[in-house]
């Protein structure tokens, strides 16, 4: 008996004339696979990302949710925000469970046991799952090239368990596992794992990209590119957490832009056909890291020297993307030119009253 | 090719691992999740070759760990595919997190286990501790004692687990080496017989974009008990289905197994061995020898430990004066300070009006064969207990005592 050929979906790429600007795109799909009524915090970055991602994917989609905020806060028994099939899996099973779903559909369609176009299979893993406990399972899924999209919604910490450091928590980020104190004034001493780059380097046949909730059309297009790519794709998305970052709730999208403008979240795509990074994304402006840091309580303890360290880190990111550094950003790597966060916050408060 | 090619019934000489692979092929599995560990690996090697040869159309996935193997199986079964996976020893333990989520989401994943002793130190030999440590996770579980029974048990287990009245995962266990690597004659059925016996897998609520469902949402503590009760009931109510399926199997394939216990020379026995798995083959020989010498000894072999046939074990064992439980597993610091099977036996007998004396024998540990003279020694211990009317000692480490 003949094998049935697997038909795959092709989603159109949205028009995005100016990635850096805020605008409404009338082409946005009307489909809402992720609806309101869940228990995430106001301004929750991961859930804003979830809505955009699932909207970009449409209704022929299956979502996989390893343990994390997007499991615990979203899905309450007898009440679900998912309009498409969704399954919880273990925090370490992000890549493996998703691989199982993808393999099942390959076999079932091929053997005539399920009829229709291959569904979009999306895994929504937090950064704890993606960078720590589920890393091997995700690497396995990418390596084996299952037709799926694995998203790391990166809020730079284990937020659901009450704000603990993950290997994505930035240098200087205060969490309950990396608190500052007289002996450890900076709090988190380690720099974050360069997860997306590691995924691109190790699985060069995959579409890999970074994105941020600050740039919704760009995010949705990267989701669609990842889904259109036949085989595995990986997306790491900056999704601020107001509970863990300690900022004013309406500023989630602002932070999503600032983190990119400050060079702390390099935006790029890995092109698997050309085997090359695409660094063409340019934010509207480039700013010193202090502008991003001062909006967040988790950095409130940093001294000038720590801010200078973070500026050096950001400058390295710009250089990696081949961006020429303006004098001001080089100037900001010298602690003598900076003030402690407490003083900066005070200055910001004064500025707000002007 | 999409469907299994039709073949006629034939007898082949294969080992337990290959018999398991053959069963998976006959079940026309859709997704296979493999990861190497001895001794079960040979099953996955055989399946890889079948897929390479085009004998079986399945997604063959080499996972990055046993944890991933079970997660792949979970995801695939949740999507509506029939899945096959397996492991041995510490591999079974590496996947431990997944056992409860799989049975709790009521996914009839099938896992083949060829037992291996747990570390330390590295020991290839068979010991049932690997699978038995998961016995309360909601999986249907039982041991076969030879390659033919292993083949049959896989088909039987799929049929039971996938029954809409059951929907539970199954561990189909066989002793490492004593079954997995010992060849025997295995009758492979007509594909037509398998089609008649095992209908295609159809989960009532798969992850299907046309009928959206949410699997495994977060619950409040008060929502936990009803879900646990449902899972426990599914296991309890599977007992009727298990009996039904064994009848059906006998009708179609002509081999009849008692789903719960095999009794061997128990008719007028005073003392019996109670055990699971491959060492029962040696036990049968030993018992025949002892019968020739006039000793009234028999064998009760447990075929299904989950669900545990409490009443059946009680009724069967109440007939005897003494029962010797051959453990082949570790239950360190437990009821008998030996193995875990003792506790299951004694608990079943508690409600009986007529309770035999029960001894626990730590034998077959670390993959050691239980030799004939050890069976004779254990029989003497049982007969001695019967004569005195009490046990000298609850647990005996066989080979370490006079």
Per residue in B114-125, pLDDT (tens digit) is: 999 999 988 999
Across the interface, whether the CB atoms of B217 and A77 are under 8 A apart is answered yes
CA distance B143 to B152: 11
Residues shown for chain A? 354
CATH of domain B10-253: 3.40.50.970
User: Contact at 8 Å (CB) between B65 and B93?
Assistant: no
User: Contact at 8 Å (CB) between A110 and A4?
Assistant: yes
Residue from B368, B370, B293, B367 nearest B325 by CA: B370
Q: Choose the closest CB to A83 out of B31, B98, B212.
A: B212
Cβ neighbours, 10 Å, residue A32: 14
Closest chain A C-alpha to B190 CA, distance in angstroms: 18
Is the pLDDT confidence value at A350 over 80? no
Across the interface, whether the CB atoms of B79 and A62 are under 8 A apart is answered yes
Across the interface, whether the CB atoms of B209 and A61 are under 8 A apart is answered yes
Domains, chain A, ordered by start: 45-285 (3.40.50.970)
Is the pLDDT confidence value at B380 over 60? yes
Is the pLDDT confidence value at A21 over 60? no
CA pseudo-torsion sign B162, B167, B169, B171: negative
Residue A235 in 3-state DSSP?
strand
What digits encode the pLDDT tens for the residues B334-372?
999 899 999 999 999 999 999 999 999 999 999 999 999
Mean pLDDT for B229-233 is 97
Closest chain A C-alpha to B191 CA, distance in angstroms: 15
A-chain residues near B57 (CB < 8 A): 3, 107, 110-111
- Interface mutation target, options B207, B213, B221, B227, chain A, most CBs of A under 10 Å: B207
Q: Is A7 on the interface with B (CB under 8 A)?
A: no
Mean pLDDT for A137-142 is 98
pLDDT at position B1 = 44
Res. A103 pLDDT band, cuts 50 70 90:
very high
Residue from A170, A134, A141 nearest A155 by CA: A170
What digits encode the pLDDT tens for the residues B68-125?
999 999 999 999 999 999 999 999 999 999 999 999 999 999 999 999 999 998 899 9
B261-397 is classed in which CATH architecture? 3-Layer(aba) Sandwich (3.40)
CATH topology identical between B10-253 and B261-397:
yes
Surface of B (199-238) touching A: CB under 8 A: 200, 206-220, 223
B-chain residues near A90 (CB < 8 A): 71, 97-98, 101
CB environment A324-341: b (16+ within 10 A), e (fewer)? ebeeebeebbebeebbbb
Cα nearest neighbour of A5 on chain B: B2
What digits encode the pLDDT tens for the residues B32-56?
999 999 999 999 999 999 999 999 9
Of the ranges A77-81, A157-161, B24-28, B386-390, which one carries the lowest mean pLDDT score?
A77-81
Q: Is B364 left (phi over 0), alpha (psi -120 to 50) or beta?
A: left
- The structural domains of chain B, with segments of one domain joined by +, span 10-253, 261-397
Surface of A (24-83) touching B: CB under 8 A: 59-62, 64, 71-72, 75-80, 82-83
Closest chain A C-alpha to B220 CA, distance in angstroms: 8
Mean pLDDT for A190-194 is 97
CA distance B129 to A210: 46
DSSP B321: S
């Amino acid at each position: 008996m003949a094998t049935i050929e697997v038909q795959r979906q092709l989603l159109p790429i949205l028009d995005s004339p100016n990635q850096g600007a805020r605008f409404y795109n009338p082409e946005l799909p009307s489909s809402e696979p992720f609806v309101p009524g869940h228990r995430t915090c106001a301004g929750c970055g991961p859930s804003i990302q979830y809505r955009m991602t699932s909207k970009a994917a449409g209704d022929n989609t299956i979502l996989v949710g390893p343990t994390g905020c997007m499991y615990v806060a979203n899905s309450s028994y007898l009440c679900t925000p998912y309009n498409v099939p969704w399954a919880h899996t273990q925090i370490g099973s992000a890549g493996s469970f998703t691989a199982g779903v993808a393999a099942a559909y390959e076999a079932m369609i091929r053997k005539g046991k399920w009829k229709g176009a291959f569904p979009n299979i999306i895994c929504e893993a937090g950064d704890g799952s993606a960078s720590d406990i589920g890393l091997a399972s995700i690497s396995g899924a990418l390596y084996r090239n299952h037709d799926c999209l694995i998203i790391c919604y990166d809020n730079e910490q284990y937020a659901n368990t009450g704000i603990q450091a993950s290997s994505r928590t930035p240098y200087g980020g205060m969490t309950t596992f990396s608190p500052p104190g007289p002996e450890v004034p900076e709090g988190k001493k380690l720099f974050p794992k360069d997860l997306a780059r590691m995924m691109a380097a190790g699985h060069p046949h995959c579409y890999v990209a970074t994105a941020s909730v600050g740039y919704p059309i760009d995010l949705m297009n990267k989701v669609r590119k990842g889904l259109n790519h036949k085989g595995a794709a990986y997306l790491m998305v900056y999704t601020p957490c107001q509970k863990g970052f300690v900022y004013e709730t309406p500023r989630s999208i602002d932070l999503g832009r600032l983190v990119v403008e400050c060079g702390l979240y390099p935006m790029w795509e890995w092109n698997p056909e050309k085997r090359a990074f695409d660094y063409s994304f340019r934010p509207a402006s480039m700013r010193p890291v202090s502008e991003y840091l001062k909006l967040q309580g988790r950095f409130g303890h940093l001294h000038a020297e720590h801010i200078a360290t973070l500026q050096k880190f950001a400058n390295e990111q710009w250089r990696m993307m081949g961006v020429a550094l303006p004098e001001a950003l080089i100037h900001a790597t010298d602690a003598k030119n900076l003030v402690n966060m407490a003083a900066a916050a005070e200055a910001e408060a004064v500025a707000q009253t002007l | 090719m999409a469907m299994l090619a039709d073949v006629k019934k034939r007898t082949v000489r294969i080992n337990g691992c290959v018999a398991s692979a053959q069963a998976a092929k006959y079940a026309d599995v859709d997704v296979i999740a493999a990861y190497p560990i001895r001794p079960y690996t040979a099953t996955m090697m055989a399946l890889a070759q079948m897929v390479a040869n085009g004998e079986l159309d399945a997604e063959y996935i080499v996972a990055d760990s046993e944890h991933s193997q079970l997660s792949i199986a979970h995801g695939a079964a949740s999507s509506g595919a029939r899945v096959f996976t397996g492991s041995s020893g510490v591999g079974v333990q590496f996947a431990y997190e997944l056992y409860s989520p799989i049975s709790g989401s009521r996914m009839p994943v099938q896992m083949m286990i060829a037992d291996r002793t747990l570390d330390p130190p590295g020991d290839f030999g068979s010991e049932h501790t690997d699978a038995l440590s998961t016995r309360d996770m909601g999986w249907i579980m039982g041991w076969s004692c030879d390659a033919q029974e292993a083949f049959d048990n896989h088909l039987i287990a799929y049929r039971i687990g996938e029954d809409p009245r059951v929907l539970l995962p199954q561990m189909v266990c066989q002793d490492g080496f004593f079954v997995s690597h010992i060849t025997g004659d295995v009758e492979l059925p007509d594909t037509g017989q398998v089609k008649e016996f095992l209908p295609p897998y159809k989960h009532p609520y798969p992850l299907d974009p046309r009928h959206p469902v949410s699997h495994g949402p977060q619950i409040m503590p008060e929502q936990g008990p009803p879900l646990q009760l449902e899972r426990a009931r599914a296991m309890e109510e599977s007992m009727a289905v298990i009996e039904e399926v064994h009848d059906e199997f006998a009708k179609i394939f002509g081999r009849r197994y008692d789903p719960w216990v095999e009794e061997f020379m128990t008719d007028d026995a005073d003392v019996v061995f109670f055990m699971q798995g491959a060492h029962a083959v040696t036990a049968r020989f030993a018992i025949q020898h002892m019968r020739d010498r006039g000793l009234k000894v028999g064998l009760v072999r447990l075929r299904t430990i989950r669900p545990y046939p409490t009443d059946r074990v009680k009724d069967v064992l109440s007939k005897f004066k003494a029962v010797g439980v051959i453990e082949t597993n570790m239950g360190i610091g437990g009821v008998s300070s030996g193995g875990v099977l003792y506790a299951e036996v004694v608990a079943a007998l508690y409600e009986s009006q007529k309770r035999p004396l029960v001894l626990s024998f730590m034998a077959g540990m670390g993959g050691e064969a239980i030799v004939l003279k050890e069976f004779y020694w254990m029989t003497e211990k049982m007969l001695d207990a019967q004569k005195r009317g009490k046990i000298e000692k609850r647990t005996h480490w066989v080979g370490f005592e006079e």
